[in-house]
Structure formats: structure tokens, C-alpha cells
Structure 1
């Protein structure tokens, strides 16, 4: 089975304005404008995390787009969940998922199914940028919830242009990603690069350490 690579981290926010303010206050840098996702009724902001150890890696701040119609299915990353929405309003942005890049996404999707997970269908999505149209395929569970609470990554396969191609260096990079609850068989299917640190439950399904202009910053998903 070919390997997958860490593509991006997902921070959910109640609004993009809230997410932008969180980024500057927490990481010490400004995020970049992203775009809108007509498929899911969301929009985003971005921050380059690429380094020699984790190339083509970025942080995505994502929120429900108040100007977009509701999609016909559950939004990705659990954004429709009332409990998450309440936490975002009351406590601020939250790490909710990470995304793994695959060159053979259908193969990895079937591997997760063989691991007795339900990764969901393969969807096609796109958004317009100043550099052209970004196009990708992404695997999203029918209920929109990240697998194993976020310990299993969302799978993505890009067609051509990658978002980091147009992002300047931010001074922020991924140092460490820790997961709790990633099944052994799923880990063997994904063969993630760079390697994630696996720990036993209980605890947050997903934790990251970022190198930033303000020093190391640790983020964790909701337990």
C-alpha cells in the first residue's frame, strides 16, 4: 500500500473573523484569505506550515459560510454538530481534524473500509483562487464526523495545483502530531508521513505542536 502524507490541519471557527483573530493571538501571524466551498456551504482562511519535514502542509481555518445555502448533506469536519457550534461560540476556535494526502485515494479509502471503518463516499470539490481553480477529491463520512474522533485523517487527493503553491512562508511549522485511537490496521493502510506519534486513549484524539514566532504552541481536539 502506498503511503499518505499529512496535508493540513483543520481549525473550526464560529466565523472567519473569529478564526483570523485567534490565529494572530495564538500563533502570532496573520492567516491568508482562502475561498468558498459551494459543495459544503463553508469558507476558509489558510496558513502555510510547510517545512523540510512536512512539505506541502498548511493550516486551514474553516467556518460555515452564513451567505451560502445549506448543503444537501452533512458538512465536513462535524461543523453541523450543535455541541461543536456551542463550543466555538463560547470558547473559540478548535482543532477538529487533520487531512492526509494520497496519490491513490480510492485505494486508501477501501483500505479503511477493510479496517472496519466507514470513511464515506469520495466527493469531488473545487474552489476558485487567483492562481486558478483548485480541484480535489475528498472522502467524507455520511454524518460528516471525523473518524475515531479525529484520530483517523480525512483523505484527500489533489488534481494539479496544491494550495501551498501560492502561500508565502509564514514562520509557523508543524513539529509534532499525536493521535490517540488510531486503529493498528488503519495505521498500516495509511502509512502516514511524517510519522505521527500514536498514544493510547484516554485523552484528546488529536494533538499538535507548532513552531511559531512565539515559541512552541500546543493545540488539542476536544476530549
Structure 2
């Protein structure tokens, strides 16, 4: 995979465990260009149904990685959490190959600290999932779809009788809460063409973007 000149990002995934496989299939379903590496031939064979850039590697040494061309990816995710030594060495090799953004999975704070020190962005899949679940359980009306940087979220909110019957402009969600509606779902029909005169329905689900605390305040008030 040669580095492309287009603005579309390409992704490399090293390791096809549950996390790596789920990540690969999700990115592929979103139409993203991905490269996948693993030492397990059967796992690589299965993933070839969604990408032609899937390779069996005998090891994860720097030269082996270079031969696959993974250094041409814009973002590489190292999904080897269980084997700490291999995780760290592989991450270091990918960084030294000049990949612009390297993300590494960690299973412990100690592993994550080392990965951060060598220059990787660290994710804790189980911890992150637990945090998301806790937030969803605490606030029954809110479901976070995406957590962006700087405490900005994209979330779904179920409407209530408090603002049902009002138009978007009458609800004043931007003025009162500092959040913006980016989509509305009604009876399985989704629209992103949000006009000021759109009348909100009690059965609607709105997708909003804004500061995390402001979205929570809106959810609490509904």
C-alpha cells in the first residue's frame, strides 16, 4: 500500500484478536482503506473478505514491517495488549518507521505509561467500554455515540413532553444549552436537514454535538 495523495486516511492494524478484528471490520464497513497484519494465517484469510491488504507476518521486526508497506499508512493501531514485550517493541518499530499517528492498545496503566513515553496514543478498550456503559446507565436519556477531543461529544437524546410540540428554533437548545442538533430520527427515518421550523415530536431521537457537561445538563432537564 503506497502512501496516497488524497485526503482520505488509510489505516494499519497489527493484531487480529477480538479488538483488532472488530476495529478492522468496522473501518472496512465505513469504506476506509485498511492494511492488516497478523501471524495467524486463518485470521488473515478471513479478513481478506473486506481488504486485499491483509498479510501473514512471521514476526514484527522493523524490517518485516517495512516490507509490508505499513509505514505508508496514516494511522496504525497496534492491537497487541496481552503480550506486553511484543506490544511495546512493535509500537516502537512502527513509530521509528515514521508513521504519523500510532495508537496502541494497553491492558494496564503500567503498559500504557510505557507506550505513551515512546510516543504512542494509548487506548484501554475494557476501561473505555466500562466508562461508556456507566455513563449510559447513569443518564437513561443519553447515549454517547462518539467522544471527540476537548470534552466534545456527539450523543443521542430521547425527546420528552417538555419540548415536544416546539419547533427547533423555539426549543432554543443552542441558546440555552450550547448544543447543536445535527440529526433527528423519527419512526426509523433519519434526517440531517434540520430546519428552524421543524416541529419536535415526543417520539423523536435527536443527535446533538456539544460540550459533554452541557449535553448532560440538557439530558437532566428533559
Same fold (TM over 0.5): no
Bigger Rg, structure 1 or 2: 2
Please identify which structure carries the higher helix content. Answer: 2
TM-score, normalised to structure 1's length? Answer: 0.24
Say which structure, 1 or 2, has more relative contact order (CA 8 Å, 6+ apart): 1
TM-score, normalised to structure 2's length? Answer: 0.25
Please identify which structure carries the higher strand content. Answer: 1
